[in-house]
């Protein structure tokens, strides 16, 4: 069963909102002629062959603790933190045609950040119909909770009744910043069983000792009314100085097809560093 249209629309809103935040203050241009299809998202959605039984991967998922992942962005309020953001517009070959970078320092609490550095080159295709999908945001605004949008309450690859639509693989000997982890991959099956699943691939990084989810990559392809969306999201956590799990890296790459316009492809990467407790 596909996610409700309202949930998928909220997912599109946060992607578009992130772009408009990163593109704030830039002019827009008319879309160029669309001369081909966009480059594939790469090898992240190819599952590795392993000797581990499927049941072993499902057993790791059955013990999954989402608490650290779901609350990671809420914990940002407890720290001063620096965020480096880079947003790129890509052409149909995957080459960058425009970019904008910002470095912001956020104080503890809920206040806006201070822009420490900014740079840009090229011209983005912004505005128009996409701009009406989401309210405008200040470039100094605090980051939204991307974890809440990337991981639904019970995605199909975690729900026992729909797991038959996916193939699974497990890697046991991985590390994330020195922390031993399991890495579970789920890839939608070809054919009828996986045809109606919007999430085509997921890779979950799980702390071996606590079973906490500390990293996630998903590849999604879906249709929302007249929109077609293809996206790939990566979120990775790290330990703060007090050993709490907090955001470390987020990466979003997506193509949104809007009626009567050339498809838009953007990539945004945010890296979090310099954590300091109140």
Q: What tokens were used for 17?
A: 């909102």
Rounded to whole angstroms, the Cα distance separating 268 from 156 reads 26
In this prediction, residue 225 carries a pLDDT of 62
The CA-CA-CA angle for residues 8, 10, 16, to 5°, reads 105
Distances (CA, A) of 272 to 72, 176, 202, 209, 217: 12, 16, 23, 24, 17
Rounded to whole angstroms, the Cα distance separating 73 from 47 reads 29
Q: Where are the alpha helices (DSSP H) in the chain?
A: 5-22, 54-62, 67-71, 128-131, 146-150
Please tell me whether the overall predicted TM-score, pTM, comes out greater than 0.85 for this model: no
Task: For residue 229, list its beta bridge partners.
Answer: 222, 256
In this prediction, residue 32 carries a pLDDT of 35
Asked whether 69 and 147 are in contact (CB, 8 A), the reply is yes
Rounded to whole angstroms, the Cα distance separating 3 from 229 reads 14
Distances (CA, A) of 149 to 70, 228, 232, 235: 10, 18, 12, 11
In this prediction, residue 101 carries a pLDDT of 94
Domain that holds residue 20: 5-277
Q: What tokens were used for 223?
A: 């249709």
Rounded to whole angstroms, the Cα distance separating 151 from 101 reads 27
Report the number of distinct structural domains present in the chain. Answer: 1
Q: How many CB atoms lie within 10 A of CB 93?
A: 10
pLDDT, tens digit only, all 278 positions of the chain: 444 544 544 555 455 545 444 444 443 433 333 334 444 444 444 555 556 788 999 999 999 999 999 999 999 999 999 999 999 988 877 788 899 999 999 999 999 999 999 999 998 875 544 444 444 468 899 998 989 888 878 899 999 999 999 999 998 778 888 889 999 999 998 876 656 688 889 999 999 999 999 999 999 887 766 667 788 999 999 999 999 999 999 999 888 777 777 677 888 999 999 999 88
In this prediction, residue 39 carries a pLDDT of 44
């Amino acid at each position: 069963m596909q996610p409700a249209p309202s949930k998928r629309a909220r997912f599109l809103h946060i992607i578009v909102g992130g772009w408009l935040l990163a593109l704030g203050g830039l002019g827009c241009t008319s879309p160029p002629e669309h001369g081909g299809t966009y480059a594939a998202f790469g090898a992240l959605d190819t599952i590795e062959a392993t000797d581990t039984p499927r049941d072993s991967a499902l057993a790791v998922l059955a013990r999954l603790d989402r608490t650290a992942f779901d609350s990671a962005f809420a914990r940002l309020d407890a720290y001063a933190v620096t965020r480096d953001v880079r947003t790129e517009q890509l052409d149909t070959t995957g080459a960058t045609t425009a970019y904008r970078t910002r470095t912001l320092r956020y104080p503890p609490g809920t206040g806006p950040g201070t822009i420490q550095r900014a740079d840009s080159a090229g011209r983005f295709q912004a505005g128009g119909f996409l701009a009406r999908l989401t309210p405008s945001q200040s470039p100094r605004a605090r980051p939204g909770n991307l974890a809440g949008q990337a991981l639904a309450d019970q995605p199909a690859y975690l729900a026992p009744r729909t797991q038959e639509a996916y193939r699974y693989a497990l890697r046991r000997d991985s590390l994330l910043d020195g922390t031993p982890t399991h890495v579970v991959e789920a890839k939608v099956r070809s054919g009828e069983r996986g045809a109606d699943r919007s999430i085509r691939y997921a890779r979950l990084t799980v702390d071996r000792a606590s079973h906490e989810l500390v990293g996630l990559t998903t590849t999604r392809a879906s249709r929302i009314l007249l929109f077609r969306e293809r996206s790939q999201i990566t979120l990775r956590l790290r330990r703060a100085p007090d050993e709490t799990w907090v955001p470390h890296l987020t990466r979003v790459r997506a193509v949104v097809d809007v009626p009567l316009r050339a498809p838009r492809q953007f990539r945004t990467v945010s890296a979090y560093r310099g954590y300091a407790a109140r």
